[in-house]
Structure 1
Amino acid sequence: MPRTRTSEPAHDSADTPAPSSKPQRRIQSIEVGVRVLQALVEQRRALPLKELAALADMPPAKAHPYLVSFMNVGLVQQNPATSLYGLGPMALQMGLAALQQLDALSEASDEAVRLCTEADLSVAIAVWGHLGPTVVRLDEPRYPMHVNMRVGTVMSVFNTITGRVFAAYLPEKMVRSVLEDEHRRVVGGASVAFDAPEVQQMLADIRASGMGRGLSQPQPGINTLSAPVFDADGKVVLVLTVFGPQGVFAAGIDGKEGQLLRMHAEAVSRRLGFDPGAKIKQ
């Protein structure tokens, strides 16, 4: 729940620009120069001037002064042995500072709202809590739907699609610990379900498709799709889940809703610094 401010700090009007609907002034040369940095970011390797200029869509003679300026402030560095240009220490510091300011739930919440509207389905965000997958946000579509889920609900590891997606990407030791605790609380005794061949195949299928799917489960009449969100280290930080009535939601991984879910989950991962080409950590 957002906090209510009882008072606002006083501001000097001379220090605070007044809101304006007019277009703000831009410095075109900075926008042009950033194309050089963007090329280095996208290629993820040091480049010669000619290739870098081509990727930035400008002649080498135009790219070089930008590189000199970026080197002066540490955004770019040049290898004296190869003359190749790469990102400099200031670029690294800026990247790390940006990552530290990111909040996974805040980034995912905006995407969840859009996904709910575009798919016209319920959308849940779950994180891995000390008892297992825990719902921290729930967005509802236009039509009412009765499901046994609310913010704060702790979901089963293997009996929910959200839990299965977490299990597919989290470290095995972490999953086993919560799974065994869940089994003791619900059934009693130790659980060996994690080692069952069919369970291992289920987790492998989720990793292969990048998504979990449930038809009329965990609740009869409700279909579900769940997708992971990764951080800059390639670790799963939360799971986005869409669910709806079986009669209107086929839950096809390659269907419209599946593509929307994948697109929004990947958008959150990118904003958290995840490289789609990087190895996912477990």
Structure 2
Amino acid sequence: MTTSPPSPRGIQSIEVGGALLRALAHQGQALALKDLAREAGMPAAKAHPYLVSFIKLGLVAQHEDGLYGLGPLALQLGLISLQQYDPVRLATPRIEALAAELGHTVAIVVWGNRGPTVVRVAHAPTPLHISMRHGTVMSLADTASGRLFAAHLPETLWRETLRAEGLAPAALRSAVAALRQRRDDALAWGLAQTLDEAVPGVSALAAAVLDQRGQLALSLTAVGPSSAFDATLQGPLAAALRRDALALTQQLGYQPQWQALPPA
């Protein structure tokens, strides 16, 4: 019989006080003492001494109106953390796990000088998968990744790329508009799909990963044979992609408001 090793011993008071910092980070705005204490799950009288210490350290600041927000040291730590995060590096182990979980090829797609470009590929450990190569430039009009980037980027950035495909911008505007109309659907926003379009018999789903500014950093794109690929926006495959895309987005320092789509 084996037993798991004991958890490292921590300092309970730091963990308790950390709940106040987590609450401030989660809310994304300054809060009154009673509201902050409630979010952290403790009485205001208990929260106040922690806040006094955090203010001395610069982790918390009290504004002129009495509200508490994150302080200068917290902001500096956040900026340093963001500088250490490379979106592609962070996403690479996730696509390996996703490919194994979903049974389909999963790729990381970024915006390159010729359009949406595959930079990492993880193939499922099954004989039934779609082959993709690093460096492949995805069609803007006919792929889920391309449509996702077009929906997030100003038309001035993708117009020439689309013309290089032999298409006028009008050919993509309806697909972009459809993606933007999902802004009120928290389950569907952030996802793009294609069904038997770029290649007959092949379908795809792409999920948006946003950077700290709320701009599209990369797409997590799953591709598979249409006969075995659930491309519905509310299906389990879409849910898994959104789960990992959201986790990466938050890791990159952005708390998405799925209703607010970047302007065209």
Q: What's the TM-score, normalizing by structure 2?
A: 0.88
Contact persistence 1:147–1:219 (CA under 8 A): no
Summarize deviations over 1:103-138 as a string: whole Å, max 9, x none. Answer: 100121122122112211110111111011111111
CA distance in 1, matches of 2:227, 2:41: 50
Give the CA deviation at 1:147. Answer: 4.1
Give the CA deviation at 1:217. Answer: 2.7
Give the CA deviation at 1:145. Answer: 4.4
Mapped pair 1:154 → 2:137: yes
CA distance in 1, matches of 2:116, 2:208: 12
Give the CA deviation at 1:65. Answer: 1.2
Contact persistence 2:115–2:137 (CA under 8 A): yes
CA distance in 2, matches of 1:100, 1:64: 32
Match of 2:193 among 201, 205, 213: 213
Give the CA deviation at 1:146. Answer: 6.3
- Secondary structure of 2:227 counterpart: coil
Mapped pair 1:163 → 2:146: yes
Q: Which runs of 5+ in 1 are unaligned?
A: 1-20
* Residue 223 of structure 2: aligned partner: 243
How much identity, in percent, do the aligned residues show? 45
CA distance in 1, matches of 2:135, 2:29: 44
Q: Residue type of the partner of 2:205?
A: L
Match of 1:194 among 139, 150, 169: 169
Q: Which runs of 5+ in 2 are unaligned?
A: 183-187
* Residue 12 of structure 1: aligned partner: none
- Secondary structure of 1:213 counterpart: strand
Give the CA deviation at 1:175. Answer: 0.5
- Secondary structure of 1:247 counterpart: helix
Summarize deviations over 1:36-59 as a string: whole Å, max 9, x none. Answer: 111112222222222222221122
CA distance in 1, matches of 2:85, 2:93: 13
CA distance in 2, matches of 1:267, 1:58: 27
Give the CA deviation at 1:60. Answer: 2.0
Summarize deviations over 1:80-115 as a string: whole Å, max 9, x none. Answer: x43222211111111111111111001211221221
CA distance in 2, matches of 1:212, 1:104: 20
Contact persistence 2:105–2:129 (CA under 8 A): no
Match of 1:203 among 176, 180, 198: 176
* Residue 136 of structure 1: aligned partner: 119
* Residue 16 of structure 1: aligned partner: none
Of structures 1 and 2, the larger Rg is shown by 1
Q: What's the TM-score, normalizing by structure 1?
A: 0.83
CA distance in 2, matches of 1:136, 1:45: 36
- Structure 1 residues 1-282: aligned runs within 5 Å: 23-79=7-63, 81-145=64-128, 147=130, 149-180=132-163, 182-183=164-165, 187=166, 191=167, 193-196=168-171, 199-207=172-180, 208=182, 209-210=188-189, 211-277=191-257, 279-282=260-263
Distance 1:231 1:280, change over 3 A: farther
Contact persistence 1:161–1:218 (CA under 8 A): no
Q: Residue type of the partner of 1:30?
A: I
Give the CA deviation at 1:24. Answer: 2.5
